[in-house]
Amino acid sequence: QVQLVESGGGLVQAGGSLRLSCAASARTFSGYTLGWFRQAPGKEREFVAAIRWSGGMTFYAGSVKGRFTISRDNGKNTVYLQMNSLKPEDTAVYYCAAGYLATWGNNYDYAYWGQGTQVTVSS
């Protein structure tokens, strides 16, 4: 069983930055991919970024590449999403997810989800 708790959302002006955190708990994360997804009002949930817990390989959606950075702290069992140069279109509820041997952006591969944290970017 994996439990995920997100934090760090809020209101920020366009061009600003936020860092989201995902505190994760499990017996082991070996083989897991931890990812961030987001869902804007009236839109489907979309992939943002993901990281392999073992090895730290990362993958990003094209819309955030170069602006967002995903990282993990093994000692704290926490995954971070540093978001820079935020745009109004980044406004969404951001979810942390975990999946064993998950394909990067396939949300069906992620069995565990957090409750989400709201990010609002004003223009």
Each residue's pLDDT tens digit, 50-76: 999 988 899 999 999 999 999 999 889
Quote the DSSP letter at residue 17.
-
Asked if the model's pLDDT at residue 87 lies above 90, the reply is: yes
Residue 19 has a pLDDT of 98
Count other Cβ atoms within 10 Å, centred on residue 121.
20
pLDDT of 101 reads 87
> At 85, is the pLDDT very low, low, confident or very high (cuts 50, 70, 90)?
very high
Answer whether residue 29 shows pLDDT above 90: no
Give the residue among 79, 78, 62, 61 at the shortest CA–CA distance from 70: 79
Higher pLDDT, 104 or 119: 119
Compute the distance between CA of residue 98 and CA of residue 108 in angstroms, rounded to an integer.
11
The structure tokens listed for 46 are: 């979309």
pLDDT on residue 33: 95
Q: Which of 2-11, 12-21, 99-108 has the lowest mean pLDDT?
A: 99-108
Return the pLDDT at 55: 87
